[in-house]
């Protein structure tokens, strides 16, 4: 039971974290807006880089991208919260039922990984050259997010044994 509770609490902490990230971006939109704007505009990467043609300078498209980021953060948070609820409900159930209840959690964590690995590290870091910017480089933070989410996925994904009676 301790391992199951540990998994539920870990997922709850991640769900809270993702919720706060999404809430912060919604309620304080202007704080991270310059980051998104500069990464997409590619205005702080190496001046002689041959990838400047990839820049997105349209404010409408930049706002849409930021909106998509926030929506994805919120979706990951909601799915993790649903996962917490499902795991809590099945915490005393047979191992197979508890394992099946992890599906929503796995989906939420995977969406988070896809956002920070696929979106920030891959698209932001490589396509938009964020790694070249000294001021608007979120690769370290994105890597930290990915590692937390991946470790949680591995821990959560392990099969549970039956509970002792």
Instruction: Place 159 in a pLDDT band, splitting at 50, 70 and 90.
Output: confident
133 Rama class: left (phi>0) / alpha (psi -120 to 50) / beta: beta
Name the nearest CA neighbour of 83 among 10, 159, 1, 140: 10
Report pLDDT for 165: 57
Mean pLDDT, rounded, for 9-30: 98
What pLDDT was estimated at residue 111?
98
Instruction: Tell me the pLDDT tens digit for each residue of 125-146.
Output: 999 999 999 999 999 999 999 9
Residues sharing a CB contact under 8 Å with residue 78, sequence separation 6 or more, in sequence order: 108
Q: Residue 5 has what pLDDT?
A: 96
The answer as to whether 140 is a domain residue is: yes
* Rounded distance between C-alpha atoms, residue 164 and residue 130, angstroms: 51
**Does residue 165 form part of some domain?**
no
| Phi, psi dihedral angles at 136 (to 5 degrees) | -120, 60
* CA pair distance 101, 96, nearest whole angstrom: 9
pLDDT in tens, 79-100: 999 999 999 999 999 999 999 9
Mean pLDDT computed over 37-57? 97
- 164 lies in a domain? no
C-alpha distance from residue 122 to each of 71, 98, 118 (Å): 19, 34, 5
- The answer to whether position 152 is within a domain reads yes
Q: Is residue 163 part of a domain?
A: no
Q: How confident is the model at residue 160 (pLDDT cuts 50, 70, 90)?
A: confident
Decide: 152 and 109 in contact? Cβ < 8 Å.
yes
**Count of domains for the chain:** 1
pLDDT at 15 over 70: yes
Sign, CA torsion 112/116/122/123: positive
Q: Is position 94 within any domain?
A: yes
**Within-domain flag for 162:** no
Residues of the domain holding 75: 1-157
pLDDT at 36 over 90: yes
Q: Tell me the pLDDT band of 155, cut-offs 50, 70 and 90.
A: very high
Q: What confidence score (pLDDT) does residue 161 get?
A: 80
């Amino acid at each position: 039971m301790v391992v199951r509770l540990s998994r539920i609490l870990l997922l709850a902490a991640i769900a809270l974290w993702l919720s706060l990230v999404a809430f912060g971006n919604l309620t304080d939109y202007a704080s991270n807006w310059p980051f998104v704007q500069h990464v997409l505009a590619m205005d702080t990467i190496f001046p002689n880089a041959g990838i400047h043609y990839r820049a997105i300078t349209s404010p409408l498209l930049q706002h849409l991208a930021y909106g998509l980021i926030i929506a994805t953060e919120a979706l990951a948070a909601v799915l993790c919260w649903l996962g917490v609820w499902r795991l809590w409900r099945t915490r005393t159930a047979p191992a197979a039922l508890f394992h099946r209840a992890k599906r929503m959690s796995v989906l939420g964590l995977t969406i988070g990984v896809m956002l920070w690995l696929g979106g920030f590290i891959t698209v932001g870091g490589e396509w938009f050259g964020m790694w070249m910017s000294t001021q608007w480089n979120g690769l370290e933070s994105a890597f930290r997010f990915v590692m937390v989410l991946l470790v949680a996925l591995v821990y959560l994904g392990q099969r549970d044994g039956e509970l002792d009676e």
